[in-house]
């Protein structure tokens, strides 16, 4: 590493970066880890889930920012693993579990679920909040793909992948507040009338078990899946679809 390369610190660790990189991009390039859900290295960040929020200490005081959107700056002190930040992240993840139907022992995505892995990393042992009774529609109309909205965390990764990689714009987010939901762009609003295919990037990028190809849920035995090993930050940082 050149002595001219600018750096910031992440919990005391020097992180080199290139001009134009965000904090998250620099951290990932350095092999370090900041917990996140909606961020994916292949897509522009939107900073919606807030799980990657960190505390900045700089010449102008302290502030909390989303690391996936904040530009890296030389001399910044970035705090990510403090007790208050971990507490806030845990509450965010607990809220997602409580708002949806995430029954890990029975879910086909268990072991390959990024939400589950982040929950383990944060030491989550319960959901803290009362579980929502909000009904969510399941769309099993497509011969090869199914959509269970009760597991959707509204990360928009499938929306972005369908638009930017698959060239189909098959998905969108609609509604407000508790009524916000994942929409299928078809005349009937059903997967069977959309252009979605099981091979689409959008189908495989879902970090939870909301959008999945059919007949593949247990192709990899539990115990041999991506996150079934030890809680290693480098392993968590690399999502299953990137392997």
Q: Are 101 and 136 in contact (CB under 8 A)?
A: yes
Kindly state whether residue 76 falls inside one of the protein's structural domains: yes
208-221 pLDDT, tens digit per residue, is: 999 999 998 888 88
Is 183 in the same domain as 106? yes
7-33 pLDDT, tens digit per residue, is: 999 999 999 999 999 999 999 999 999
Whether the predicted pLDDT of 189 surpasses 90: yes
Is 154 in the same domain as 170? yes
Q: Are 53 and 85 in contact (CB under 8 A)?
A: yes
Is 119 in the same domain as 167? yes
Decide: helix, strand or coil at residue 90.
helix
Is pTM, for the whole model, over 0.85?
yes
Kindly state whether residue 235 falls inside one of the protein's structural domains: no
The CATH number of whichever domain residue 70 belongs to comes to: 3.10.20.740
DSSP classification of residue 46? -
**pLDDT at residue 61, as a whole number:** 82
Is 51 in the same domain as 117? no
The CATH number of whichever domain residue 115 belongs to comes to: 3.30.70.20
Q: Are 185 and 194 in contact (CB under 8 A)?
A: yes
**d(C-alpha 161, C-alpha 204), whole Å:** 9
Is 97 in the same domain as 18? no
pLDDT band at 223 (very low <50, low <70, confident <90, very high): confident
Other residues' Cβ atoms within 10 Å of the Cβ of residue 181: 15
Kindly state whether residue 41 falls inside one of the protein's structural domains: yes
Q: Which residues pair with 63 in a beta bridge?
A: 56
**pLDDT at residue 231, as a whole number:** 63
Q: Mean pLDDT score of the chain, rounded to an integer?
A: 91
- Domain of residue 181 covers 87-217
CA angle 219, 220, 221 (to 5 degrees): 110
Of the residues 26, 51, 81, which one is the last residue of a structural domain?
Answer: 81
Kindly state whether residue 238 falls inside one of the protein's structural domains: no
Is 167 in the same domain as 138? yes
Alpha-carbon dihedral sign for residues 136, 238, 5, 14? positive
129-184 pLDDT, tens digit per residue, is: 998 877 888 999 999 999 999 999 999 999 999 999 999 999 999 999 888 999 99
pLDDT band at 88 (very low <50, low <70, confident <90, very high): very high
Indicate the number of domains in the chain: 2
């Amino acid at each position: 590493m050149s002595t001219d390369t600018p750096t910031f610190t992440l919990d005391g660790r020097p992180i080199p970066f290139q001009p134009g990189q965000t904090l998250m991009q620099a951290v990932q390039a350095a092999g370090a880890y900041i917990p996140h859900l909606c961020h994916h290295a292949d897509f522009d960040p939107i900073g919606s889930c807030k799980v990657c929020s960190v505390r900045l200490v700089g010449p102008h005081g302290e502030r909390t920012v989303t690391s996936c959107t904040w530009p890296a700056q030389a001399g910044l002190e970035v705090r990510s693993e403090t007790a208050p930040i971990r507490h806030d992240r845990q509450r965010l993840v607990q809220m997602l579990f409580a708002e949806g139907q995430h029954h890990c022992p029975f879910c086909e995505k268990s072991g390959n679920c990024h939400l589950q892995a982040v929950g383990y990393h944060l030491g989550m042992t319960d959901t803290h909040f009362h579980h929502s009774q909000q009904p969510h529609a399941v769309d099993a109309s497509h011969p090869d793909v199914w959509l269970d909205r009760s597991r959707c965390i509204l990360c928009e990764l499938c929306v972005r992948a369908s638009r930017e990689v698959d060239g189909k714009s098959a998905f969108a987010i609609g509604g407000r507040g508790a009524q916000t939901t994942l929409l299928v762009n078809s005349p009937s609003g059903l997967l069977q009338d959309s252009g979605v295919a099981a091979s689409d990037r959008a189908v495989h990028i879902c970090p939870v078990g909301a959008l999945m190809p059919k007949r593949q849920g247990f192709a990899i035995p539990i115990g041999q899946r991506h996150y079934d090993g030890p809680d290693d930050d480098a392993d968590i940082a690399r999502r299953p679809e990137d392997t």
